């Protein structure tokens, strides 16, 4: 298998994970706003809204039997990147509102929605 195929497989797997997370969150009552917000600082997988709260969502997918859970794969550096990217988003849309950071972890067929997992203060 070539590197290109591996990269394409990872992108496809990531897209499928985001599709599953989006469907799950919508079933739970969140409203979709944006997918794959990118800037020079990083990327946010999903931006959703729950009531008056803006929700920045990191989606992580792991195959069963791999080392650690999907949620455990989010490093401190990744958390800091998410916060900086969210601030960039808020500045660009000129929006002030309550916000939180959630994780949707997909471990095989198991979906875990972890709310407000990143402290910004």
For the stretch 14-60, pLDDT in tens is 688 899 999 999 999 999 999 999 999 999 999 999 999 999 999 99
Chain centroid to CA 29: 17
Domains and CATH numbers, the chain: 3-114 (3.40.1350.10)
Which element (helix H / strand E) includes 101? strand 99-107
Structure tokens at 52: 């008056």
* pTM of the predicted model as reported, rounded to 2 decimal places: 0.85
Q: Are 3 and 10 in contact (CB under 8 A)?
A: no
How far apart are alpha carbons 110 and 69 in whole angstroms? Answer: 11
- Note the pLDDT of residue 100: 95
Which element (helix H / strand E) includes 84? helix 76-92
pLDDT tops 70 at residue 111: yes
């Amino acid at each position: 298998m070539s590197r290109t195929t591996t990269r394409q497989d990872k992108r496809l797997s990531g897209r499928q994970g985001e599709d599953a997370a989006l469907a799950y969150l919508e079933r739970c009552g969140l409203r979709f706003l944006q997918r794959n917000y990118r800037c020079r600082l990083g990327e946010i997988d999903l931006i959703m809204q729950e009531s008056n709260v803006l929700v920045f969502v990191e989606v992580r997918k792991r195959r069963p039997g791999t080392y650690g859970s999907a949620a455990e794969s989010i490093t401190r550096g990744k958390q800091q990147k998410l916060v900086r990217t969210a601030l960039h988003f808020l500045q660009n849309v000129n929006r002030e509102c309550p916000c939180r950071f959630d994780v949707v972890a997909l471990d095989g067929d198991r979906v875990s929605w972890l709310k407000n997992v990143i402290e910004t203060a």
